[in-house]
Chain A
Amino acid sequence: DGGITQSPKYLFRKEGQNVTLSCEQNLNHDAMYWYRQDPGQGLRLIYYSQIVNDFQKGDIAEGYSVSREKKESFPLTVTSAQKNPTAFYLCASSMNPEVNTEAFFGQGTRLTVV
């Protein structure tokens, strides 16, 4: 099946630890995105990448880092500098970095700091 796979579905982290969330797509999409969603809130953009080896900060990039070494993969690292990391994290991809098209979303990773 073509789609976007986020793993793990649930993740627990101790305070002060870095953690990496995985996002893989087999849709051959050029652009990929990371969003954060807090309870009862909309999605806020963390980082996006329109092409391999390039990425841009979104509205809330502080405390996060990403890499885009392969077209199909866009991992997100939540660092210890992120003050309130407990949230639902969503990865998405879209086909063409030049033309706006719908973004396809994964099923999310729920991160909890314990």
Chain B
Amino acid sequence: GESVGLHLPTLSVQEGDNSIINCAYSNSASDYFIWYKQESGKGPQFIIDIRSNMDKRQGQRVTVLLNKTVKHLSLQIAATQPGDSAVYFCAENYAQAGTALIFGKGTTLSVSS
């Protein structure tokens, strides 16, 4: 399960700030990690992924950091915009689950302008 100390169920930021969403994953054998964004009443949308042989990966305005030592994953969003308001989920994959993703509980990001 997730580490309560690292996971915050909600995060409120001002427009233009940088946001950091944390996730503690459960399985030390996990080798693939992914972040999704979910807007109310919709299916999750892919943001960025990372494999266990990397510790950082950058996309457009987003960066994912992986710390395998403490089983921690973070998503950084630069210059957060109101359209970024949503629930963010991290997910992991390990061999016993085939290619299925195992999801964390999610963090609700609220961006005020």
Contact = CB atoms under 8 A, between A and B. Distances in A.
Contacts of B36: 105
Nearest to A47: B100
Interface stretch (B44-52, B56-64, B65-73, B78-86): B44-52
A90 to B, nearest CB: 6
Contact of B43 (A31, A50, A90, A101): A90
A94 interface: yes
Given A100-B32, A102-B34, A102-B46, A45 B41 contact: no
B101 interface: yes
Interface stretch (A14-22, A36-44, A69-77): A36-44
Interface in B1-58: 31-32, 34, 36, 41-46, 49, 51
Contact of B42 (A35, A102, A108): A108
B105 A50 contact: no
Contacts of B102: 45
A99 B99 CA distance: 7
Nearest to B102: A45
Interface of B: 31-32, 34, 36, 41-46, 49, 51, 89, 91, 93, 97-106
Interface of A: 4, 31, 33, 35, 41-45, 48, 50, 56, 58, 90, 92, 94, 96-108, 110
Q: 8 smallest A-B Cβ distances: which pairs?
A: A105-B43, A100-B32, A43-B103, A42-B103, A48-B100, A102-B46, A42-B105, A105-B44
Given A43-B103, A97-B98, 9 more contacts: A31-B99, A41-B106, A42-B89, A43-B91, A48-B97, A90-B44, A99-B99, A102-B49, A105-B36
